Amino acid sequence: MKKDIKIGYEHFKSISELSETEKKLFERAKKARETGYAPYSNFLVGCAVLLENEEIYTGSNQENAAYPSGLCAERTALFWIGANFPNEVIKKIFIIGGPREFSEKTPPIPPCGACRQSLMEYETKQNEDIEVYFSNLNEEVFKVNSIKNLLPFYFDATFL
Ligand code: THU
C-alpha cells in the first residue's frame, strides 16, 4: 500500500515577516557564522539557539584535518547547551550557512541528517518541540515547528 507523508513548513520571502526575537536570532547566527573554522570545506555555518530563559547561545562549524572529527554548527551549540544547561528548554534554532564567498545567490541551507537526529534527541529529552529556521543572505527563511517535519520515520529511544 502506497502512502504519502506530508510535512508542514513555512517559507518567508523576507525576515521582516518574522518577530523581533527571530530577527535577533538571524543576526546572531549570521555573526556566529563568521567564527566557523572551515579550512577544508570553506563552507561556513552559524547558528543561534534560543532557550526558555531567553538566553541566546551560538555555534559555528568546527572542522578537523581528520575530517570526521569536525562538527557542524548546530551540534556544536546543542551539545554545549546540553552540557552547561541540561535542564533548560530549547525553544528555537536559527541556522545560516554557505560557501566562504557567501552571496545573495546562496540558498537557505537546511540542517544535515546528523544534526536533525541530534535535534530530535533534544525534543524527546525536553518533551517539547524546537522551532527550526534556516536562512540565507537574502533573508529568505524556511521554518518548521518541529524537527519531526524534517525527519520522517525518525529513530528514537522508544525503539531501544
Ligand atoms: N555543516 C554544518 O555546520 N551544518 C550543517 O547542517 C551542514 C554542514 C558544516 C559541516 C562542514 O564543516 C561544512 O558545513 C561542509 O559540510
Q: What is the pLDDT of residues 85-140, one digit of tens each?
A: 999 999 999 999 999 999 999 999 999 999 999 999 999 999 999 999 999 999 99
119 belongs to a structural domain: yes
- The Cα–Cα gap between 145 and 3 comes to 23
Q: Which residues contact 145 (CB under 8 A, 6 or more apart)?
A: 8, 129, 131
Per-residue pLDDT, 57: 98
154 belongs to a structural domain: no
Q: Within 13 A of 85's CA, how many CA atoms are on the CB side?
A: 17
Atom of ligand 1 nearest to the CA of 62: 12
Which structural domain range is residue 68 located in? 12-148
Q: Within 13 A of 131's CA, how many CA atoms are on the CB side?
A: 16
CATH number at 126 reads: 3.40.140.10
Atom of ligand 1 nearest to the CA of 115: 6
104 belongs to a structural domain: yes
158 belongs to a structural domain: no
Residue 74 is among the residues annotated as catalytic for this protein:
yes
19 belongs to a structural domain: yes
Q: How many domains does the chain have?
A: 1
111 belongs to a structural domain: yes
5 belongs to a structural domain: no
pTM over 0.85: yes
Catalytic residue among 74, 123, 131, 139: 74
57 belongs to a structural domain: yes
